[in-house]
Chains A and B, each alone.
Chain A
Amino acid sequence: MRTQPSAALRDPLLEARNVSKRYGDFVALRDVSLSVNNGEVVSIVGPNGAGKTTLVNTLTGLFVPTTGEVRFLGEKLADNDIVKLSTQGLARAFQLVNIFPDLTVRETLSVAAGSYSGLRWRMMQNFRHNNAVQTIVEEIAQAFGLHTSLDVLSSALPHGKRKLLDVASALALHPKVLLLDEPTAGVSTADKYGIMETLLAAAKKMNVGAIMLVEHDMDLVSRYSTRIIAMQDGAKIADSPAAEFFQNEEVLSIVVGKASH
């Protein structure tokens, strides 16, 4: 499925140009170039240790590339200012569940909604009484089925809902590009399709331009991706539209052979 293309955004929305990342002698990323365009759902696949999460971290400004550059909306990531990127429209969710344990669902979503609405320095108004924020919160919560848990503490949520919250809070930023790192990890086979459908429907509703996801589950990858990038040992070994990708026996065996579920 395709997401709604956002108006007036030049492609590529996000790109990596010859990005390498080295830690001393260890090379985590090897001359990786890729781009993500409007309307795409790009999956990144590969065996464990291929550098997928490192790639996501580098694309989202957490890591500085040793060589090469990352560009978002055409602009180079010069100072790795993650907050600036988030306001410009780059959002991500995490592989290991990443929430605010002592904040409720409403509060978590309000953090992002507050940033989006430019309210981060409002110091005297109760955030619960701010219409702009609460409208966004309600909208997102509805889209993710979290509206019944709005006042529940994040640490009290079951695993599946926590993953949804992680993504939901990222979406509250109204991003143009959304990166998801194994959004269905730890989720039962029965639930994973439901979660992906929810995620993609919500992203469409929020007018996300493009989605990039790291995923091990090839079922999900084949069903939902428009394009697939495969990695191994820090290097890109394939980058093709979904249909084509599944014709490539060699790459498939590398990816699927060693992938664990």
Chain B
Amino acid sequence: MMSRILIVVFLGALAVAPMVMPPYFLTVLIPFFAYAIILFGLNLLFGYGGQLSFGHAMFVAVGAYAAATSYSVLGVASFELMLGVAVLAALCIGIPLALIASRFTGIFFGVLTLSFGMLFHSILFKFYNLTGGESGMRVPRPTLLGMELEAYNKIGFLTGPFYYYCLILLILLGYLMWRLVRSPYGLHLSASRDNPVKALYLGVRVRWVRTVAFVISAVYGAIGGVMLGVLTGLADPELSYWTHSGHLVFMTILGGFQQFLGPAVGALVMILVQDQLMAETEYWRFFVGLALAIIVIVLPGGILGGLRRIKFKQKETKAHEDATQRRPARSTA
């Protein structure tokens, strides 16, 4: 299949990139890995589950702060430990929130998750003794698989071993998500999105599948947060601000929600463009908003959705041409 080949080629290009691309470009790609993971999680909740969260960024912050705390409390800077603590934190925070939020859908879910996110943001500021308040917390450079890797300087580390580690994480987590959405559970989740009442009548435990989706998306978000934390060296409270959640939604829609790779595409486009955009003008939010508005109105399927439509149109025209060239059949199917 064409798309599979493209994916392999793309991943191959990513694998080879550190050898050919300048370090600056590579440091732009790592956020892409992080955001792709975060958005795989959000897409499960929003694209497949139909629940639009405006507070998802809080889990990204959870991840970053978990990374920082695992060092400040345990004294050890290990990437695996950071990931472990982040996943644990995401579960501890995500499960109760999921249980509350999954009772709702639509607007209420949006407002509730918005409130959760801003509550977390508030807490990060108020308890500044623990969290560093406005300045955040430092995330040190961690060991990878126990290795110090002293030979690498900061840039070398980020664009070398860390880059590959993140790429592998992306592939693993992406594959896991792929299996998940194609499973009976994933199907039940999609059913709950399309028509919750009918889904109930077909034996779908709507509330539970939504809860599980929320928790999984929280874990993915936290893992991405750890990666971002290590990259920037900082756990920043602004990570949990609601506009950051909005950006996550934007990237998902840009690439095409309800498509598996949509968010990844959106993340890539956004990361490449945002860098340029932010350099050009300080009013980049306006253009992001404008792009979002245009997409929502004109191309709700996002980039991948648009491509799909073109593909189907081509199929349709071809089928039509085929049909008109043959003699008319006796009856249509």
Q: Among B183, B186, B197, B258, which residue has its beta carbon within 8 angstroms of that of A98?
A: B197
Could you tell me the distance in whole angstroms from the C-beta of B320 to the nearest C-beta in chain A?
16
**Chain A residues with Cβ under 8 A from B187's Cβ?**
103, 107, 110-111, 114, 127
Assess whether A98 is in contact with B198, with CB atoms less than 8 Å apart: yes
Q: Among B179, B182, B184, B194, which residue has its beta carbon within 8 angstroms of that of A101?
A: B194
Q: A119-B184, A128-B182 are in contact. Are A102 and B201 (CB under 8 A)?
A: no
Assess whether B188 is in contact with A111, with CB atoms less than 8 Å apart: yes
Assess whether A103 is in contact with B191, with CB atoms less than 8 Å apart: yes
Q: Which of A99, A126, A133 has the most CB of B within 10 A?
A: A126
**A248–B40 CA distance with the chains assembled, in angstroms:** 63
**A167–B56 CA distance with the chains assembled, in angstroms:** 38
Assess whether A125 is in contact with B183, with CB atoms less than 8 Å apart: yes
Q: Give the residues from 143 to 195 in chain B that come closer than 8 angstroms, CB to CB, to chain A.
A: 179-180, 182-188, 190-191, 193-195
Q: Among B180, B188, B203, B333, which residue has its beta carbon within 8 angstroms of that of A148?
A: B333
Q: Give the residues from 188 to 214 in chain B that come closer than 8 angstroms, CB to CB, to chain A.
A: 188, 190-191, 193-195, 197-206, 209
Could you tell me the distance in whole angstroms from the C-beta of B202 to the nearest C-beta in chain A?
4
Q: A103-B190, A111-B191 are in contact. Are A123 and B183 (CB under 8 A)?
A: yes
Q: With an 8 A cutoff between CB atoms, is A58 at the interface?
A: no
**Chain A residues with Cβ under 8 A from B184's Cβ?**
110, 114, 119-123, 125, 127, 130, 133
Q: Give the residues from 100 to 117 in chain A that come closer than 8 angstroms, CB to CB, to chain B.
A: 100-103, 107-108, 110-112, 114-116
Q: A120-B205, A124-B179, A173-B202 are in contact. Are A62 and B185 (CB under 8 A)?
A: no
**A98–B198 CA distance with the chains assembled, in angstroms:** 7
Assess whether A100 is in contact with B200, with CB atoms less than 8 Å apart: no
Q: Among A91, A107, A115, A130, which residue has its beta carbon within 8 angstroms of that of B204?
A: A115
Assess whether B190 is in contact with A126, with CB atoms less than 8 Å apart: no
**A5–B190 CA distance with the chains assembled, in angstroms:** 35
**A170–B201 CA distance with the chains assembled, in angstroms:** 8
**Chain B residues with Cβ under 8 A from A148's Cβ?**
333
Q: A110-B184, A120-B188, A122-B184 are in contact. Are A86 and B179 (CB under 8 A)?
A: no
Q: With an 8 A cutoff between CB atoms, is A18 at the interface?
A: no
Q: With an 8 A cutoff between CB atoms, is A9 at the interface?
A: no
**Chain A residues with Cβ under 8 A from B191's Cβ?**
100, 103, 108, 111
Could you tell me the distance in whole angstroms from the C-beta of B179 to the nearest C-beta in chain A?
5
Could you tell me the distance in whole angstroms from the C-beta of B149 to the nearest C-beta in chain A?
34
The number of residues on chain B lying at the interface, defined by a beta carbon within 8 Å of a beta carbon of chain A, is 27
**Chain B residues with Cβ under 8 A from A102's Cβ?**
190, 193-194, 258
**A122–B188 CA distance with the chains assembled, in angstroms:** 10
Report whether over half of chain B's contact residues are helix, strand or loop; otherwise say mixed. helix
Assess whether B200 is in contact with A82, with CB atoms less than 8 Å apart: yes
Q: Among B185, B198, B201, B258, which residue has its beta carbon within 8 angstroms of that of A123?
A: B185
Q: Among A112, A121, A128, A166, which residue has its beta carbon within 8 angstroms of that of B185?
A: A121
**A121–B188 CA distance with the chains assembled, in angstroms:** 9
Q: Among A82, A83, A123, which residue has its beta carbon within 8 angstroms of that of B180?
A: A123
Could you tell me the distance in whole angstroms from the C-beta of B244 to the nearest C-beta in chain A?
28
Assess whether B205 is in contact with A122, with CB atoms less than 8 Å apart: no
Could you tell me the distance in whole angstroms from the C-beta of A161 to the nearest C-beta in chain B?
11
**Chain A residues with Cβ under 8 A from B333's Cβ?**
148
Flag B290-333 by CB within 8 Å of A: 1 or 0 each: 00000000000000000000000000000000000000000001
Assess whether B190 is in contact with A107, with CB atoms less than 8 Å apart: yes
**A125–B186 CA distance with the chains assembled, in angstroms:** 10
Assess whether A86 is in contact with B202, with CB atoms less than 8 Å apart: yes
Q: With an 8 A cutoff between CB atoms, is A87 at the interface?
A: yes
Assess whether B258 is in contact with A100, with CB atoms less than 8 Å apart: no
**A87–B200 CA distance with the chains assembled, in angstroms:** 11
Could you tell me the distance in whole angstroms from the C-beta of B9 to the nearest C-beta in chain A?
24
Q: A124-B180, A130-B184 are in contact. Are A92 and B190 (CB under 8 A)?
A: no
- Shortest Cβ distance from A87 into B: residue: B203
Q: Among A94, A119, A128, A172, which residue has its beta carbon within 8 angstroms of that of B198?
A: A94
**Chain A residues with Cβ under 8 A from B201's Cβ?**
60, 82, 86, 91-92, 170
CB-defined A-B contacts under 8 Å, sample of 13: A82-B201, A83-B200, A91-B201, A92-B201, A100-B194, A111-B187, A111-B191, A111-B199, A111-B202, A120-B185, A120-B203, A128-B182, A130-B184
Apart from A122-B184, A127-B187, list 19 A-B contacts with CB within 8 A: A60-B201, A62-B197, A83-B204, A83-B205, A83-B206, A94-B198, A101-B195, A102-B190, A103-B187, A112-B203, A114-B184, A120-B184, A120-B185, A120-B203, A120-B205, A123-B184, A127-B184, A170-B201, A170-B202
> Ordered nearest first, which 5 A-B pairs have the shortest CB separation?
A115-B203, A100-B194, A114-B184, A119-B184, A86-B203
* B interface residues (Cβ-Cβ under 8 A, vs A): 179-180, 182-188, 190-191, 193-195, 197-206, 209, 258, 333
